[in-house]
Structure 1
């Protein structure tokens, strides 16, 4: 069975600092014409940072699309400083957002964050053996973060209580829960 849509045309309708929006005219496998709005976003990394007590690092920060603060794992986009390498981005983001470095950084998975409208591809890393960095990298001037540590059990309850609603953070908590068979 063929699911592929044929792109008939593509037009960039917005290009900003962080993302680009394209509108594509497509022909579906059934032969009908349709329009697709696609957010083009750089690849990103998410960090499942676990300390020597088995707690997970989360950060509280303002998210403008929500007009609210949110709790989420440290994360960020892969940018020019990283030369397209998610591992380099993971090390940089870990330093910038938590002021930590990891003895071990293991790739856990790669996934699309929301394929219904964006091409953002997220690489998740497990960071263990963490300790404070010796040299702090500059933080994003437009970002204010508050680091906190939670147990997996607390994280599961925070998901149930809708205190944690970020998909990558939910994935991280259930990943750790699965590792520990909790």
Structure 2
């Protein structure tokens, strides 16, 4: 059953920081109910995340500081798509910046949204194979720790305490399915 979308009567900026703008939306639903929702203002920029796999059958992860959890988290290379850049070009660039490898084979897995009630940005998940060494300067404030994890032990990675970022877990599970490992 397809429902009629709510009518947006107004959109008001309620808070702004260097990184985020929060909007308030006055809505009315087809059944007459009225609500005020808040969301992050759509930026129009999307992101990518890559599950890189070496020819030796290792996953390459990065451990980097996450301000939200105030600790170092283990996850896959990821980042924003630059204006005019394709998702696959951004994925390859992020690999070069974060782990020092490019890849010749990128397989798209799925486009996902994190918390669609609050965010509109999409992230395209990829598997990256046929890696070759190439390093680009990234925008991280410190050198990222690169962690090799055997693909054969991917099930253990899913339950590892430092590997908790939902998009990385989703990407790994989809990669395992595409690779026939699950």
Question: What residue number does 2:8 align with?
Answer: 7
Q: Structure 1 unaligned runs (5+)?
A: none
Question: What residue number does 1:166 align with?
Answer: 165
SS of equivalent residue, structure 1 residue 180: coil
Question: What residue number does 1:175 align with?
Answer: 174
Normalising by structure 2, we get a TM-score of 0.87
Cα deviation per residue 1:1-42 (whole Å; 9 max; x = unaligned)?
525111111012334444332111111232111111111352
Moved more, 19-28 or 97-106: 19-28
CA distance in 2, matches of 1:130, 1:74: 14
Aligned residues: 178
Q: 1:164 to 1:141 in 2, by over 3 A?
A: closer
Question: What residue number does 1:149 align with?
Answer: 148
CA distance in 2, matches of 1:107, 1:161: 25
Q: Structure 2 unaligned runs (5+)?
A: none
Where do residues 1-182 of structure 1 align in structure 2 (5 Å cutoff)? 1=1, 2-39=3-40, 40-41=42-43, 42-80=45-83, 83-133=84-134, 136-178=135-177, 179-182=179-182
Question: What is the CA distance between 1:120 and its match in structure 2?
Answer: 1.5
Q: 1:140 to 1:114 in 2, by over 3 A?
A: same
Normalising by structure 1, we get a TM-score of 0.87
SS of equivalent residue, structure 2 residue 50: strand
Question: What is the CA distance between 1:169 and its match in structure 2?
Answer: 1.2
SS of equivalent residue, structure 2 residue 15: strand
